[in-house]
Amino acid sequence: MTEFLIIIIIIAILLALGFGLVGLVVGGRQGSDRMFKSLVVRISLSVFLFLLVLFAGFMGWIEPNIVVLDAAAPLQK
């Protein structure tokens, strides 16, 4: 469930980025307002996503990948 929510938030961030691009193309006062609102949404969603990932990791809902490197193994060419 947490992974699904993370994907939804990332898609929402990308949509807000697209709305900011439309505001950039439109230009003028209306485009500037649209870009500002898009920026606020992107920052808010990004902070929420960061806190969600930290909380999910703390609660054990998600686990990091563990990569073990064997230092004694010779380098392969």
Q: What is the mean pLDDT of residues 35-44?
A: 94
Q: How confident is the model at residue 68 (pLDDT cuts 50, 70, 90)?
A: confident
Where are the domains positioned within the chain? 2-59
pLDDT at 76: 61
Q: Are 47 and 36 in contact (CB under 8 A)?
A: no
